[in-house]
Amino acid sequence: MNKAKNPRNPRRMFSLLIIGIVVVAAGYLIARFVPERPVDYEAIEDHFKYGSIGSEPVNGLPYWIWKVLPEMFPEKLPGKGGYASFGFIYEQGRDLPIGVSQRRVTGIERVWLNCAVCHTSTLRETKGAEPQVILGMPANDFRLYLFIQFLREVALDNRLTSENVMAKIEEMGGNLDPIEKVAYRYFVVDRVRAALFELRQQLNFLDRQHPWGPGRVDTFNPYKAIQFNFPMDTLPAEELIGPADYPSIWDQRPREGMYLHWDGNNPSVQERNKSAALGAGVTPVTIDLERIGRIEDWLWDFKPLAYPKEITSAKAAEGKQLYGQYCAQCHGMQEGDQYLFDTGRFSRLGKVEPITAIGTDPGRLNSYTELLSVNQNTLYVGYPWRFKHFRKTHGYANMPLDGLWLRAPYLHNGSVPTLRDLLEPAENRPKVFYRGYNVYDWEKVGFISDVAEEDGHEFFKFDTQVRGNSNAGHEGEAYGTSLSGAQKDAMVEYMKTF
């Protein structure tokens, strides 16, 4: 007699159970490790300060590696305070500084840089005043050179082991789950160390440069090394010293079509934005166009802060006449509460002034080459946003000057501390001064530059005799440096209105 089939056959039930477990486990692993999860912010200001632009997946640090490095290697920092010693700005109640974003990638929280790290700074009205965070302003105290060198030094330190990192994470109250503990112990730390060592090799040329100082970056030499594997050891010496100040990034709409980016190498705002994002660690594959687009939309019409102190109107009116005579054709001007970007009225605004005419330091110009422009124009091939406007020039751009009071120090390489100093011939400008101090000089318009140290924090001694730091140029009869002292004071008074 045949036995009736039992719908609850144990072997069948066991098979279904195994299949169910595999499906659930696979679903969990896919849900955990496949999707990327950037930390988003509703307010655009918070998104600018802390939102992701896509720099974390390839170049970011795992969150807990970021947290433990200053604790494990405090002797390699330039001062006390962890990452704040590099000029990172921390707001109360925030775990990460301004300019550092977070994204979950392959199941691990990772952090890295965004636009705000180079374009946000602080200002104090007086020594005793609280610092005011100003968005879109050049990062006056961010010491990128030292931050990179810190990471390069960490790569060589034998204490960077998974055992030591895990012990420090536990000491700091890290809340890794079991899977993260396995990942950190057997994979993450070793991979980070290898990546930092590769970074060290790629940027060996930094050891042949002078420290850039706060508020400055050599934009294109790291770009050549990291993006295009240029043979940095074979580049001519005059090409290797190209530090320049971070620019302000407000009011981008009227800048579209102008040849800016210090040397006028591109008239497209969006290409310059995407190129700058590469410098922050984004790659052509990981770039987050949606989130960068939020920032771009905001910056089109984001205005700089108005000068907050009283302006002497009669003196400013006198200065306006002089400025119109000497400066407006190249830089535009302020009328009422509007800055005029009218390239029809100001024929040289947003165009390149030959280096032979302006005579300022050539380092930044020489660091950008024809070969680099050709390589840049191959980026994003196959996409509508492929680069196609980069070009080599032979001078520096005539920049609009809106929000000028917040853009000190002056000239493209930040070699002149105040506006008043810039109106002097080079021989009368400060030869040595200090950068990174955020107390404002309301009389000369710029930051106070004769303070070497405050509360144990040492400021950067900027020597204009160092290669790439020359404060020469932009001087002579055509530039107003031959005017009387009173006339120069009047021009400064007018430029406070920008």
Strand 100-105 versus strand 120-123 pairing type: unpaired
Q: What is the pLDDT of residue 4?
A: 53
- Measured between alpha carbons, how far is 17 from 401 in angstroms, rounded to an integer? 70
Confidence of residue 16 (pLDDT cuts 50, 70, 90): confident
Confidence of residue 131 (pLDDT cuts 50, 70, 90): very high
Quick: pLDDT tens for 81-101: 999 999 999 999 999 999 999
Separation CA 235–CA 328 (nearest Å): 38
Q: Are 436 and 146 in contact (CB under 8 A)?
A: no
pLDDT in tens, 175-207: 899 999 999 999 999 999 999 999 999 999 999
Average pLDDT rounded to a whole number, residues 459-483: 97
pLDDT for 5 equals 57
SS3 percent helix, strand, coil of the chain, rounded to 5, is 40, 15, 45
Q: How far are the Cα atoms of 150, 154, 171, 346 from residue 64, in angstroms, in the given order?
A: 17, 15, 12, 52
Q: Would you say residue 323 has pLDDT above 90? A: yes
Instruction: Please say if the pLDDT value at position 2 is more than 60.
Output: no
Is the pLDDT at 1 greater than 80, yes or no? no
**Cβ of 130: how many Cβ atoms within 10 Å?**
7
Q: What is the pLDDT of residues 197-251, one digit of tens each?
A: 999 999 999 999 999 999 999 999 999 999 999 999 999 999 999 999 999 999 9
Say how many C-beta atoms besides its own lie within 10 A of residue 156's C-beta.
Answer: 11
CB-based contacts of 101, cutoff 8 Å, min separation 6? 38, 39, 50, 51, 52, 53, 55, 56, 111, 112, 113, 114
Q: How much is the average pLDDT of 315-341?
A: 97
Which element (helix H / strand E) includes 353?
strand 352-354
Q: Mind listing the pLDDT tens digit for each residue in 263-292?
A: 999 999 999 999 999 999 999 999 999 999
- Bridge partners for 339 per DSSP: 334
Q: Is 103 helix (H, G, I), strand (E, B) or coil?
A: strand
Query: Of 70, 223, 211, nearest to 144 (Cα)?
Result: 211
pTM comes to 0.93
**pLDDT for the residue numbered 19:** 86
Rg over CA atoms, the chain: 26
Q: Residue 23's pLDDT band (boundaries 50, 70, 90)?
A: confident
Q: Measured between alpha carbons, how far is residue 237 from residues 205, 232, 240, 242, 310 in Å?
A: 11, 10, 5, 10, 47
Tokens of 453: 């140290």
- Residue 228: the pLDDT is 95
Residue pointed to by tokens 């200090």:
434
% of residues, the chain, pLDDT over 70: 98
Burial pattern 305-324, b for ≥16 Cβ within 10 A else e, equals eebeeeeeeebbebbbebbe
Average pLDDT over residues 391-396: 98
pLDDT of residue 394: 97
395's enclosing H/E stretch is: strand 395-397
Q: Provide the pLDDT for residue 35.
A: 79
**Rounded Cα distance, 377 and 387, in Å:** 5
Rounded alpha-carbon distances, angstroms, from residue 150 to 76, 109, 185, 244: 6, 22, 23, 21
Any idea what DSSP says for residue 466?
S
